[in-house]
Amino acid sequence: MVIEIRPVAGYAEYMACEEIQNVAWDGIGIVPLNMLLTAHTNGGVLLGAFDTDAPGAPMVGFVFGFLCRAADGRIKHCSHMAAVMPGYRDARIGERLKLAQREAVLAQGIGLMTWTYDPLISRNARLNIRKLGAICRTYKPNVYGPDPLPVGELPSDRFQVEWWLCSERVSARLANADAPPSVAEILGGATLLNPDPEGFAVPIAGERLALRIPADIDALCAVNFPRAWAWRHQLRELATSAFASGYHVVEYAREGDDGYYLLEH
């Protein structure tokens, strides 16, 4: 399989972005062709991933973002969405799209990119925090309203991450210059704030903290929705308090049924 990543061009490819959104998000919150086109042709970035080995070289993923202004007034790139078709999700296409997006944004002279993701989704934590080297110090509760699930509604809480594109930290991550820590290394020098999502939290103190999440929140929702709900609300409370106290997420590791965020002051 040969995947080509390049800017989206032409009606059919913009429509393909809509179709991928429909598959990825069940038709909810779709950015239509006219908005994609307008943003893309006015400083935005819209890149597609194309399977050149398949007949017709179909688009199998895309990433989309646009120019914004940060709270301090600087111009940043807001990465709004990225999606990959189900049959291609284990081929690191999402990672390649983000790296290509980084190059496109750097070519515009911009050094900061931000986006949001569900902090309980382990695979996204691994990509955003561990692989790409983004950091997080902003928690946004219920951004899009409740997520409707077959077993109930879960608030759409999000981490807003900052990707400082030219930082030494990001350069080291992208060059694989720093080996990923083990869970034991994260927990060895940090205070674990939530040993049990349904129990009492540990007071926030020390230079390094750890926050535990389930390795597969989707599977947990299917078999024990109340526990998934407890994870959501406990992580919201603890992360919000930690960020307000000057901590930020710098690392992520997973082992067995659990994942762990590392926060530093």
Query: What does pLDDT average to over the chain?
Result: 93
Q: Is the pLDDT of residue 53 over 70?
A: yes
What's the pLDDT band for 150 if we cut at 50, 70, 90?
low
Assigned token pair, 119: 């902090």
What average pLDDT score do residues 214-228 get?
91
Q: What is the dihedral of CA 54, 59, 62, 64, to 10 degrees?
A: 160
Q: pLDDT-derived band of residue 4, with 50, 70 and 90 as boundaries?
A: very high
Of the pLDDT bands very low, low, confident and very high (cuts 50, 70, 90), residue 176 is confident
Note the pLDDT tens digit of each residue in 232-265: 999 999 999 999 999 999 999 999 889 999 999 9
Give me the helix-helix angle, 11-25 and 33-40, nearest 10°: 120
Q: Minimum mean pLDDT among 11-20, 48-57, 202-211: which range?
A: 202-211
Q: Does domain 3-264 have CATH number 3.40.190.10?
A: no
Domain boundaries, the chain: 3-264
In angstroms, the CA 229 to CA 27 distance is 24
Q: What is the pLDDT of residue 177?
A: 60
For range 121-138, the mean pLDDT: 96
**Contact call for residues 164 and 144 (beta carbons, < 8 A):** no
